[in-house]
Amino acid sequence: MAMKTDPGRFFEDFNIGDRLIHATPRTITTGDASLYLALYGSRFALTSSDEAAKTMGLACAPIDDFLAFHIVFGKTVPDVSINAIANLGYAEGRFLAPVFAGDTLNATSDVIGLKETSAGDTGIVYVRTTGFNQHKVGVIDYVRWVLVRKRDNASPPPSSVVPELKSALGGDELVVPNGLNPRAYDTSWSGQSARFDDYVIGEKIDHVDGMTVEESEHQIATRLYQNTAKVHFNLYNESRGRFGKRLIYGGHVISLARALSFNGLGNALFVAAINGGRHVAPLFAGNTVFAWSEVLDKAIPKGQTDIGALRLRTRAAKDHPCADFPAETADGKAHPSLILDLDYWVLMPR
């Protein structure tokens, strides 16, 4: 009679070259899209309107890029991070194709890096995860690295392999959805006139609005993603833990920041890439999230003339409106309000 519940992988259980086939195939529905909208209040036109999407050459409204990301990410949790202490970073994340209601997502992860920490009780695991649809077409890929407990501190360390990762994807590596006609875009859909050419490198945008998060909201969101990380759901355990309360899934903050960014970036149709991201500090229920963005770079994706890419650095803060653009202090420390520092590319019509 074998053990029926899986304690998850410890650091020793990962080997370079392993391919982890993640569980839980998931068909996305308009119900998922509706719930996602209701959780974050997104107003980007293409994910809100089938008609807008058709006008631009798509079959219907795609789901929000970060909804697809969270669903793919959720699948990796039981295999990658159930025994993780910390999510250390993301890199080389690309959105390869839009996801539509009716698509079924699956995911695999390849172990591409391993490095035991000096204390010898944990190690860093690097995985490259690919989410793909029912046609085996990749929709998202990204690298994530996490700090994972060892099962036994006495286990010998593996050979260290640390992958070389780009600090940012180049504009020519970004994928513009197949068949998209950016010329058909209509700024009346967003009510904002600023297009790609109206943004300037170095420009800072305060997204003004704030959104308070409730326990049930982040729980509903995180379950929607079938993300099983215990810290988000289990008050009994967490009340005895480090923070004394449930910790909100970092992806929830990313989605809030993206939805808030509509105010000032309303024509940023798609997220094309995630260059890197850091959950600077934890978010808890009752906090109000604000955000601001800085334009880090601009590029024209390969073969495109009518759509450009903005490289953005969006910082989210808690209980601190962002008119003062809270960032890092002179000594390199993050402003105490900061909870997210995300570096990513968005696509915007010219």
> Residues 306 to 335: which contact its own copies by CB under 8 A?
319-321
| Residue from 61, 147, 168, 348 in contact with its own copies (CB under 8 A) | 61
Closest distance of CB 119 from its own copies, Å:
27
| Residue from 11, 12, 14, 39 in contact with its own copies (CB under 8 A) | 39
Closest distance of CB 15 from its own copies, Å:
18
Contact call for residue 346 and its own copies (CB under 8 A):
no
Residues 62-121 that bind its own copies (CB under 8 A): 78-79, 101-102, 104
Residues 226-245 that bind its own copies (CB under 8 A): 226, 228, 230, 233-237
Q: How far apart are CA 345 and CA 259, in angstroms?
A: 15
Contact call for residue 189 and its own copies (CB under 8 A):
yes
Q: Mask of contacts with its own copies, 269-288, x by CB under 8 A?
A: -----------------x-x
Contact call for residue 131 and its own copies (CB under 8 A):
no
Contact call for residue 4 and its own copies (CB under 8 A):
yes
Q: How far apart are CA 16 and CA 171, in angstroms?
A: 30
Closest distance of CB 182 from its own copies, Å:
17
Residues 167-186 that bind its own copies (CB under 8 A): none
